[in-house]
Amino acid sequence: MSIISPPRDSFDHRDPLTSSLSASYAGVVAFIAVANEGSFSRAADRLGVGRSAVSRSVQKLEQQLDTRLFLRTTRSTTITGEGELFYENCRPGVERILQALEEMRDLREGPPQGQLKISAPHGFGRKVVAPLLAEFRVHFPAVALELLLEERAVDLATDRVDVAFRDGRLEDSQVIAKQLIPMRMHVCASPDYARRHGLPESVDDLAAHACINQRLTNGRLQYWDFKIDGYARSITPHADIVVNDPSLAMGAVLDGQGLSQLAAYQVCDALRAGTLVECLAHLVPDDRGHYLCYLSRQQLPKRIRVFIDFMTTRIRALDLDCSTIELNARRQSAAIPMLAAEAGVAA
């Protein structure tokens, strides 16, 4: 008995999944790379193949879809409307496949490697995150780092951010949020300001003081948060100076221009050195934190895992919540009325 093999086109018709994947996968990968890089040449470099190979793969995909995905000229490559729709549908699946391949490669090849994109607020990013990156690179030189400072809460998936540092109270249930340290908010002034004007003993006393506030990215002024008799209370004091960066607010306070409510990581060193004094320490809220956020994935690339572990260990060791100087700060606050009285100022 002889076995007659079916014609090739008959096999393809009976097994459309196999034929579709074999014909399309290379084209989809090439298409995603071109869409991400905005250029066939840069996509080829990213994929480690020749530009002509990328171009052929995309052309075959366009023929299969009977749709123009890019508009090409000698100077530019622009994705079409149909291309954008196809990109949004394909990208999650391709990224999961690439992630799986990358994780397996990490397991085989040892040390963490690849690109790591990080987002952080301006103040925390400059003061805390950025100084630690050099040490991280010493331990993991094969990991390339990109740090973006911005106040908005980035969408980790859409903005392609691997790890985001966030401050305050988190409500995003789509990410894993690991609290690094509590975020304590302290009302501070310079000793010179305290001697000249005294310090408030209650939240209501703030109305009689020069306040320095911050304008947030959404346009509103920052609330000053307190915990009074176990209840949260937020106010927006009248401000003589408004800035849009925490370091500027800190500078104005150090210059003796008024009071401001600042995060502990900003003021800890100054409180220890005595260049700032704290008031209303007994009203500091305790419902905020500094968080390290990443997408809810069961398996993270090794470069993300080691970064999370490194930052968690280093930041917690810095004592940025002022816990070790809280008692001393309260003693300083208690001493200020006497200093003010000696200078002839009613506290």
Please report the pLDDT score of residue 159 as a whole number. 83
Please report the pLDDT score of residue 330 as a whole number. 47
Taking the C-alpha atoms of residue 114 and residue 128, their distance in angstroms, rounded to an integer, is: 23
Please report the pLDDT score of residue 249 as a whole number. 93
User: Has this prediction a pTM greater than 0.75?
Assistant: no
CA dihedral of residues 106, 110, 114, 116 (deg, nearest 10)? 90
Non-local (6+) Cβ contacts of 213 within 8 A are 221, 222, 224, 236, 237, 239, 241, 242, 243, 249, 260
Please report the pLDDT score of residue 188 as a whole number. 94
Please report the pLDDT score of residue 1 as a whole number. 39
Please report the pLDDT score of residue 246 as a whole number. 87
Domains of the chain: 18-109 (1.10.10.10), 114-183+289-316 (3.40.190.10), 185-286+322-342 (3.40.190.290)
DSSP bridge partners of 185: 263
Place of tokens 């985001």: 164
Please report the pLDDT score of residue 297 as a whole number. 62
Please report the pLDDT score of residue 111 as a whole number. 83
Which two structure tokens, joined as six digits, stand for 179? 């609290």
Please report the pLDDT score of residue 172 as a whole number. 62
Please report the pLDDT score of residue 125 as a whole number. 92
Q: Residues in the chain with pLDDT < 50?
A: 1-14, 16-17, 327-347
